[in-house]
Amino acid sequence: MTTISRLCTSRLDLIAATVAHLDAELDSPAQLGALLRVEVPDGWPPGEYDRPAIEFFRARMLENPAAAGRYGWYAVLRSSSEQRATLVGAGGYFGPPDGDGIVEVGYSVLAAFEGRGYATEIVRALVAHAFSHPGVVRVIARTRPENIGSVKVLERCGFTLAGPGDGPGSVEYRLAKPSP
């Protein structure tokens, strides 16, 4: 996949993580906020986007510094007259497409911002970005069936349940690239 550093939705800017971003984030949310020039609310990082995920992205980026956009993305709610630009979530890919043209997507939104459609915007942007590359034929996502919010996000984005995931208790959802 080619490198793009920013994706835009109707309300969000998704900013591709760099090693500098990840280093700042591992030091403190405040350092990440200063680097991105955004407010970072309490509770960062969200959900399953935890320290091991950040370290995974950093290690992959160190192996290939040109890989920005193949891993983590920060979801920033644009500023308005009432508020400064705010980090509301994160999403990304678990790496470049595999040999079969499959890429896996993941996402997390801070609890204070759940239920507002941000996860759906993140996933739609990441899927569109993935499918803009000719080698990508399918996007997958894994979640737990009891995570109703995540299941609804995937279904709203057109994913269908494919069966058990690769981890205990997880399920896999799939979305094939639409025909031209």
Cis, peptide link before residue 65, omega less than 30° from 0: no
pLDDT of residue 2: 46
pLDDT of 68 > 90? The answer is: no
What pLDDT is stored for residue 16 in this prediction? 95
Percent of the chain with pLDDT over 90: 84
Question: Are 130 and 139 contacting, i.e. CB atoms less than 8 angstroms apart?
Answer: yes
**pLDDT of 3 over the 60 cut:** no
Instruction: Note the pLDDT of residue 1.
Output: 43
How do 138-143 and 86-93 pair as beta strands? unpaired
- Domains of the chain, each with CATH number or no CATH: 6-176 (3.40.630.30)
Query: Each residue of 14-23: pLDDT tens digit?
Result: 999 999 999 9
pTM value? 0.94
Model pLDDT for residues 91-119, shown as the tens digit of each residue: 999 999 999 999 999 999 999 999 999 99
